[in-house]
Structure 1
Amino acid sequence: MDYLRTLGSAAVSTIVQKSGLNLPFSLGAKLTQVEGYYNIYDATKRDDGSQVSVFEYDLGSKNTKPFAQNSLRKLRTTRHPDVLKFMEVVESDSTIYIMTERVRPLSAVLPQYAQKSAQEKEDWLIWGLQRISVALTFINEQCLSTHGKICVNSIFISPSGEWKLGGFEVFSNPRDENAVLYNLGGLLPGSSTYSPPEVKKTGWSALKEADVSAADSYALGLLLHAVFNPSHPPPPTVEPPHPPPQPSSRGAIPNSVFPHFKKLLNPNPKSRFSAKGFLEIGMTDSGFFSTNRLVQVCAGLDNFALASEAEKSTLLRTLKESASSFPPEFASNRILPSLLSALEYGGANAATILPLVLQFGTNVTPEDYPKLILTHIIKLYGSPDRGTRMALLEHLPEYIDKLDKKAVSDKIFPHLQLGFSDTVSVIREATIKSIISFAPKLSERILNNDLLRLLAKTQTDSEPSIRTNTCILIGRLGPSLGYNTKRKVLVPAFSRALRDPFVHTRVAGLMAFMATMDCFEIPEIATKVIPNMVFSLVDDEKLVRDQAFKALEIFVKKVQEYAEKMVCSLLWNLSLALIECTV
């Protein structure tokens, strides 16, 4: 075993042994072997448990070492949102492990989209090609380099369904004397399938004098054909004399793309359409990229904070109307995080955006829901914005079941209770109505003490509807209150409601007495409940009188039944006493 070198963004603190190497990750399932000289694994980063991918290069294979080293060197130094994200590497004389963000090979994902509708498939492919065109434009224009291996095997799919450009085995700059592409490009497995006509004619060294975009643009055209027509052979233009693609070879390539696809495959490198030109044509107002739903949504999400209110409203409306048609992984891992960010850091109307967060959150697994959704929702309860607080309460039924008791009692209620004294009556009323949903998740201390003190104040609120809803709430909470609390609170609370000037509050008081009848012992009914209800029989409002007669009838009947049992019990006891005396 040689001296181990560990490179990357962080030192390896926790290590495991595998094949004599110290690895900062735990290898999981092997996804595939690519072109016979490297393997891709699912893996878990050991220091934080995050999901990653690992590319394993076996340097013992013929000609692998220069390609693996070039891939490592270029991937480490090329940073772009559409390029596979490098994280860490471990290398020895025999093996190189490159750890990246979690991805899947495009070749493994394409068959899944074959089962989707033609429009869904086209949307996703066009979006993916747009991202690859952006990455290529960056490599050709800013890096002044040639990727050299644009094909299905060099593209990977993130958990959100986004296309990431990898495959940097021959990534080269013509100013580098030892550039791999011009010296060893022909030795890379499969290179002949995407090589341009000038390479087929004079070899890979011809690219050193050509424009850096020439080979990549030609390969981009072949990639476009391959993803739209995966079961078709390559177009005839790949073989001499390189005839231009005919309409009969279009297959599933959209009509709007086909004319520009032909320009990418121009056999003359000087006249060939570049990736940059292809991208610019596609991004015009009516271009095939700019009119794509997924491209539009991503652009809207990326620029959301800077967009005008009209643009924000348009995007949110589009998301709402098209929610069910987005790929699930795109909805959960691309749209949802952007919406949560906008919701947490501002720039969006909470009343509009929170329902979308909850809607897109339905695809999140129960294990991930607390971290991805609830963490942000709980934090929002501390927002001073009334629109945000109102939206949280209005949509409470959609997420309340997923909240645990500790989070509600310790993190939500301290903020929620401020709503009872808010100067805006709508907030006070919404807060009161929400308590019935929160109640099962509140601690006994909050339920029997803090909450009831707050409700005692809202029973005297200036708004009649708030006083009414408070009485109704106390009636519904009654059975869940502690034994001593019931004795102290219920009769005074409902009796206060019966003296309220608002007719519906008085009716609510009578109905609350009826709803909590089982909370009272019979002596308490006879000595406290009935005496406090009797005066309602002569209330000025017929609605109250009618309800009072119903309530009293029920309570009197309950006392009457109890009294009858008392008589029977007394007679039975007297009988037993007489029998004992006779004996």
Structure 2
Amino acid sequence: MDYLRNLGSAAVSSLVQKSGLTLPFSLGPKVTSYEGKSIWTLYEGTKRDDGSAISVFEFDANQPGKRTYLPLAKNSLRKLRTVRHPDVLKFLDAVETDTTVYIMTERVRPLAPAIQERASKSAQEKEDWLLWGIHRISVSLAFVNESCTSTHGNVRVDSVFISPSGEWKLGGFEVLSSPKDDAAILYTMGSLLPDASTYASPEIKKGGWSAVKENSVTAADAYALGLLIHFAFNPSHPLPATAQPPHPPPAPSSRGSIPLSVFPSYKRLLNPNPKARLSSKHFLELGMAETAGEGSGFFSTNRLVKVCAGLDNFNIASEAEKASLLRILKESAASLPPEFASYRVLPSLASALEFGGASAASILPLVLQLGKNVPPQDYASVITVHIVKLFASPDRGTRMALLDNLQEYADKLDKKTVSDKIWPNLQTGFNDTVPVIREATIRSIISISDKFNERILNNDLLRFLAKMQGDPEASIRTNTCILLGRLGPNLGYNTKRKVLVAAFARALKDPFVHCRVAGLMALMATLECFETEEIATRVIPNMSFALVDKEKLVRDQAFKAMQLFVKRLEEHAATMVSGR
């Protein structure tokens, strides 16, 4: 008999054996801060099929005292698989037997320790982050209550988790139920939740969990949301007096660190009368109100909430709205939570970049600025992958932004990526009809020339540069000569002998004075590239006419160059054996 039911998407053939169960993941360390906080044991883990980081919630009914909770674990799995929302813990896969449940989710960590970690932050940074998190939980609760017409029944700090991007995710679906179901687990087993009575609303404390049937599906969750707000802002304080009979309204002295703007609405969430209690949806609406009155507007003015909304709507926003968001991000980049900047802001901006347009020049420097805090092992997946794609964009604004900022990310590129993915698109810039693109392409080459393979450096690139030496734009011809001077030492032996003298001699005949100067300076910079005989027979003869150039700037530079090369010949001659 097959006791295993694989409820997820992983193929059975990819599973591995563990303690009699076939599991699509490898268990990592146990998350000790979550021990005893729920019916679950939480582990860090990795997916077997692709090695990606995940979290694993384990329930084993064979452990002492756990069998009673098995229906709660199974309900949690059933609901988590069907309730999909960006602010709900993301379900990936599961394995279930008669006594064991494993749930794989996106990699998360418990909320409580994350709040403690921010104790050293400034008051404003903490408030911004906490309100943003409460906003996301309010959105998810409104979804559960209104769209799913269900009661969560287990809203508390230990049912909220933090994703790698710092976003709060609602979990803890052990008793999530629809009031349409008369045998719903919330009514029959709600009291089995750990510390159920502590977080229960007044009507539940008085009449038991069946009281949920008699009120709105939002009532119990709204009250619990109020308690969550209290814990978030006052984690070291005991629950407010309103959590115990006779449930007095929260006194101003109990506000602690709860923002003044939130406190009036917070009190309404904790109204002991479920009929008059503020719902999570109404709380959300008050928080998002544009015209802030008492107890409203606390979400709409929050920096992180505004940033998220701006990122979500970036591609349909007006240019003025885009500019406003980018200004906010630029001004607050240093104070954004690092994980939020790296895994929420950056991917959204990088995605927006792919649409090109006038915003590219503003977005890319910001992406690169925020990217400085991305761990080296994640840089390629968070930033480089998007930058590489952008080189295929036909948008000139995007191309200019990529070229102007190339030195900021060139060291993060590997040789294969440059040769196989960037160069095929980058080389089109040499033939662009817009001069500024051609010039920017030339200026950018030196930043990645060390990543070119032999064929590109000694053949393909030089063919383009030969063409650029005849460009109608004087500045392009000049920059081409400067680039050749910098590339010279890295060219192959035969390439140096074939290309350099001819290229620099051509520059010395250019009608643009600064191009002629650049030719002389390039010769001087590549002195070590020439053999002594070549200096005497090719370099000096091709340079000597510059000594009488009509422009003094060129003549002065020509004499400096001539002295340098003659000195090299003198040094060599001193070592020669005298003939008879």
TM-score interval, normalised by the smaller of the two chains: over 0.9
Counterpart secondary structure, 1:17? strand
| Alignment-derived partner of residue 18 in structure 2 | 18
1:189 aligned to 2:199?
no
| Alignment-derived partner of residue 47 in structure 1 | 49
Counterpart secondary structure, 1:570? coil
| Alignment-derived partner of residue 93 in structure 1 | 98
Match of 2:495 among 485, 491, 498: 485
| Alignment-derived partner of residue 279 in structure 2 | 274
Distance in 1 of aligned mates of 2:68 and 2:122: 42
Counterpart secondary structure, 2:354? helix
Q: Is the 8 A contact 2:43 2:57 kept in 1?
A: yes
Go from structure 1 to structure 2 and tell me whether the alpha carbon gap of 1:59 and 1:347 turns closer, same or farther (over 3 Å shift).
Answer: farther
| Alignment-derived partner of residue 558 in structure 1 | 568
1:42 to partner: Cα distance: 0.8
1:426-480 C-alpha deviation (Å, 9 max, x unpaired): 1111111112122211112211111111111111111111111111111121111
| Alignment-derived partner of residue 410 in structure 1 | 420
Go from structure 1 to structure 2 and tell me whether the alpha carbon gap of 1:422 and 1:542 turns closer, same or farther (over 3 Å shift).
Answer: same
> Which shifted more, 222-231 or 362-371?
362-371
| Alignment-derived partner of residue 546 in structure 1 | 556
Counterpart secondary structure, 1:44? strand
1:111-167 C-alpha deviation (Å, 9 max, x unpaired): 111121111111111111111111111111111111111111111111111111111
Counterpart secondary structure, 1:497? helix
1:232 aligned to 2:237?
yes
| Alignment-derived partner of residue 336 in structure 1 | 346
Letter in structure 2 aligned against 1:449: N
Match of 1:319 among 323, 326, 329: 329
Q: TM-score with structure 2 length normalisation? A: 0.96
| Alignment-derived partner of residue 524 in structure 1 | 534
| Alignment-derived partner of residue 304 in structure 1 | 314
Go from structure 1 to structure 2 and tell me whether the alpha carbon gap of 1:267 and 1:469 turns closer, same or farther (over 3 Å shift).
Answer: same
Q: TM-score with structure 1 length normalisation? A: 0.95
| Alignment-derived partner of residue 580 in structure 1 | none
1:554 to partner: Cα distance: 2.0
Letter in structure 2 aligned against 1:173: S
Q: Is the 8 A contact 2:27 2:43 kept in 1?
A: yes
Letter in structure 2 aligned against 1:495: A
Letter in structure 2 aligned against 1:96: V
| Alignment-derived partner of residue 455 in structure 2 | 445
Distance in 1 of aligned mates of 2:38 and 2:259: 33
Answer with 1 or 2: which has the greater Rg: 1
Match of 1:110 among 112, 115, 122: 115
Letter in structure 1 aligned against 2:324: T
Distance in 2 of aligned mates of 1:230 and 1:76: 31
Letter in structure 2 aligned against 1:245: P
Distance in 1 of aligned mates of 2:171 and 2:506: 73
| Alignment-derived partner of residue 390 in structure 1 | 400
Distance in 1 of aligned mates of 2:477 and 2:322: 39
1:346 to partner: Cα distance: 4.3
Go from structure 1 to structure 2 and tell me whether the alpha carbon gap of 1:25 and 1:68 turns closer, same or farther (over 3 Å shift).
Answer: same
1:423 aligned to 2:433?
yes
| Alignment-derived partner of residue 517 in structure 2 | 507
1:215 to partner: Cα distance: 0.7
Letter in structure 2 aligned against 1:176: D
| Alignment-derived partner of residue 446 in structure 2 | 436
Q: Is the 8 A contact 2:70 2:99 kept in 1?
A: no
1:506 to partner: Cα distance: 1.2
| Alignment-derived partner of residue 250 in structure 2 | 245
Letter in structure 1 aligned against 2:55: S
1:223 aligned to 2:210?
no
Q: Tell me, which stretches of 5 or more residues in structure 1 are unaligned?
A: 575-583
Q: Is the 8 A contact 1:54 1:99 kept in 2?
A: yes
1:298 to partner: Cα distance: 0.6
Letter in structure 2 aligned against 1:151: R
1:378-417 C-alpha deviation (Å, 9 max, x unpaired): 1111111111111111101111111111211221112111
Distance in 2 of aligned mates of 1:354 and 1:167: 39
Q: Is the 8 A contact 1:13 1:47 kept in 2?
A: no
Q: Tell me, which stretches of 5 or more residues in structure 2 are unaligned?
A: none
| Alignment-derived partner of residue 33 in structure 1 | 35
Distance in 1 of aligned mates of 2:47 and 2:340: 23
Identity of aligned residues (%): 70
